[in-house]
Chain A
Amino acid sequence: MMQAVKQTSPYIRKDVSTKRMMIDVLIALIPVVAFSIYRFGGDAILRILVSLVVMIGLEALVFGIMHKPAKADKWMDRVKSRYAEYTINNITAPAVSAVIFAMLVPSKLPIYAVVIGAAFGIVIAKMLFGGLGSNIFNVAAAGRIFIALAVTNMFDGSYLGVDLVAGGTALTSLRSGLGFPGVLNSYSLIELFFGNVPGAMGEISAAAILIGAVYLLIRKSADYRVMLSTALTFTVLMLFAGIKLYPDLALEYVLFHLFSGGLMFGMVFMVTDPVTSPVTRPGRWLYGLLVGVVIVLIRLFGAYPEGVAFAILFANMFVPLIDYPKWATNKIKPAFIVSYIVLLVVFSLVVFFGVGGTV
Chain B
Amino acid sequence: MIAKTKYIPDGKKELKELPIVHYLDANYVYYPVTSARCPEGETCVRGGQFVKVGEVVGTRKGAFFEQPMHATVSGEVVGYEKHIDNSGKVVDCLIVKNDKKYELHESIVERTDDEIAALNKEDYIQIIKDAGLVGLGGSAFPTYIKLETKDPIDVVIANGVECEPNLIADYSLMMNNPREIIKGLIYAMNASGAKRGVIAIKKKYKEIEERLKFVLQEFTEFDIKVVTVGNFYPQGWELAMIRNALGIKIPQGELLSKYGVLNFNVSTLQSIYNAVKKRLPVLERLFTISGDGVQNKNFRARIGTLITDLVELAGGYTNEEAPKVMILGGPMMGTNILRDDVVMTHTTTSLIVMNEKIDKEEPCVHCASCVYSCPVEIQPVQIMNAYKVRDKEMLKVLEVNKCIECGLCSFVCPSKIHLTEYMRNGKRFLAK
> When A11-B354, A133-B364 are in contact, do A16 and B405 touch as well, CB less than 8 Å?
no
Asked whether B2 lies within 8 Å of A13 as measured between CB atoms, the reply is: no
Say whether B327 contacts A11, CB under 8 Å: yes
Min CB–CB distance B380 → chain A (angstroms): 9
Contacts of A274 in B (CB 8 A): 2, 365-368
Find chain B residues with CB under 8 A from A222 CB. Answer: 2
> What sequence of 0s and 1s flags, for each residue 194-216 of chain A, a beta carbon within 8 Å of any chain B beta carbon?
00000000000000000000000
A67 within 8 A of B: no
In-complex Cβ contact of B365 among A6, A11, A18, A87 (8 A): A18
Choose the segment among B141-149, B151-159, B297-305, B334-342 that binds chain A (4+ C-beta atoms closer than 8 Å).
B334-342
Is there a chain B Cβ closer than 8 Å to A14's Cβ? yes
A8→B421 contact, CB < 8 A: yes
Residue of A5, A132, A219 ringed by the most chain B CB atoms within 10 A: A5
A10 CA to B409 CA in the complex, in Å?
9
Measured CA separation A16–B371 after assembly (Å): 16
Instruction: Give Cα distance in the complex from A253 to B352, angstroms.
Output: 63
Residues of B within 8 A of A68 (CB): none
User: Shortest Cβ distance from B312 into chain A, in angstroms?
Assistant: 12
The reply to whether the CB of B262 lies closer than 8 angstroms to some CB of chain A is no
Question: Nearest chain-A residue to B11 (Cβ)?
Answer: A12
Residue among A89, A323, A330 facing the most chain B CB atoms (10 A cut-off) = A330
| Given A8-B421, A223-B368, A13-B411 contact (CB < 8 Å) | yes
The smallest beta-carbon distance between A258 and chain B, in angstroms, is 24
Closest A residue to B410 by beta carbon equals A10
Chain A positions within 8 Å of B369 at CB level? 16
Enumerate chain B residues within 8 angstroms of A244, measured Cβ to Cβ: none
Is B382 interfacial (CB-CB < 8 Å)?
yes
For chain A, residues 308 to 329, give those with C-beta under 8 angstroms from any C-beta of chain B: 323, 325-326, 328-329
- Among the 9-residue stretches A172-180, A275-283, A294-302, A335-343, the one with 4 or more Cβ atoms under 8 Å from chain B is A275-283
Q: Does A134 contact B (CB under 8 A)?
A: yes
Take A12-B332, A14-B411, A274-B2 as given contacts and tell me if A279 and B323 are in contact as well, using a CB distance cutoff of 8 Å.
no
B residues within 8 A CB of A134? Answer: 363
Give the CA-CA distance A284 to B336 in the complex, in Å: 38
Chain B residue at smallest Cβ distance from A22: B365
Please, which residues of chain A bring their CB within 8 A of the CB of B415?
17-18, 133
Q: Which residue of B lies closest to A133 (CB)?
A: B363
Let me know if A21 and B381 touch, CB within 8 A. Answer: no
Task: Tell me which residues across on chain B come within 8 A of A89, comparing CB atoms.
Answer: 362-363
Whether A280 and B368, one on each chain, are in contact in the complex, defined by CB atoms closer than 8 angstroms, is yes
Q: Chain A, 27-58, contact with B by CB distance < 8 Å: what is the 0/1 string?
A: 00000000000000000000000000000000
Chain B residues whose C-beta falls within 8 Å of the C-beta of A221 in the assembled complex: 1-2
Majority DSSP secondary structure for residues of A touching B: loop
A280 cross-chain contacts in B, Cβ below 8 A: 368, 371, 379
A279 touches B411 (CB 8 A): no
* Contact present for A325 and B411 (CB under 8 Å): no
Instruction: Tell me the complex Cα distance, A13–B409, Å.
Output: 10
Chain B positions within 8 Å of A10 at CB level: 331-333, 407-408, 410-411, 420
A284 CB, nearest partner CB in chain B, Å: 8
CB atoms of A325 and B336 under 8 A apart = no
Which of A220, A274, A331 has the largest count of B CB atoms less than 10 A from its CB?
Answer: A274
Residue of B nearest to A223 (CB): B2
- The residues of B that contact A328 with a CB separation of less than 8 Å are 379, 382
Are the CB atoms of B367 and A14 closer together than 8 Å?
A: no
Q: Is the CB of A325 within 8 A of B339?
A: no
- Please state if B336 and A279 are interface contacts (CB–CB under 8 Å): no
* A9, B336: Cα distance in complex, Å: 7
Q: Does chain B have a CB within 8 A of A242?
A: no
Q: Which of B356, B364, B379, B414 contacts A325 (CB 8 A)?
A: B379
Contact B407 A9 (CB under 8 A): yes
Please name all residues of chain A whose beta carbon is closer than 8 Å to the beta carbon of B420 when the two chains form the complex: 8-10
Determine if B320 is an interface residue (Cβ-Cβ < 8 Å). yes
Rounded to whole angstroms, the CA-CA distance of A220 and B2 in the bound complex is: 6
Interface centre among A4, A8, A21, A132 (most CB of B within 10 A): A4
Does A3 lie at the interface of the complex (its beta carbon under 8 Å from any beta carbon of B)?
yes
**Do the beta carbons of A4 and B339 come within 8 Å of each other?**
yes
Contact across chains for A18 and B334 when beta carbons are under 8 A apart: no
Residues of B within 8 A of A14 (CB): 5, 8, 411-414
Q: Contact between B371 and A9 (Cβ–Cβ < 8 Å)?
A: no
* A132 vs B414: C-alpha distance when bound (angstroms): 14
Residues of chain A within 8 A of B408, CB atoms compared: 10
Whole-angstrom distance between the Cβ of B357 and the nearest chain A Cβ: 8
A–B pairs, 19, beta carbons within 8 Å: A4-B340, A7-B356, A8-B421, A9-B332, A9-B420, A13-B413, A17-B416, A18-B367, A18-B414, A18-B415, A87-B360, A221-B1, A274-B368, A275-B365, A279-B382, A280-B368, A280-B371, A325-B398, A330-B371
| Additional A-B contact list (12), CB under 8 Å, known A14-B414, A16-B414, A20-B414 | A3-B324, A7-B325, A8-B424, A10-B331, A11-B352, A16-B412, A89-B363, A221-B1, A275-B365, A284-B368, A323-B382, A325-B379
- Measured CB to CB, the residues of A under 8 A from B are 2-14, 16-21, 87, 89, 131-134, 219-223, 274-281, 284, 323, 325-326, 328-331
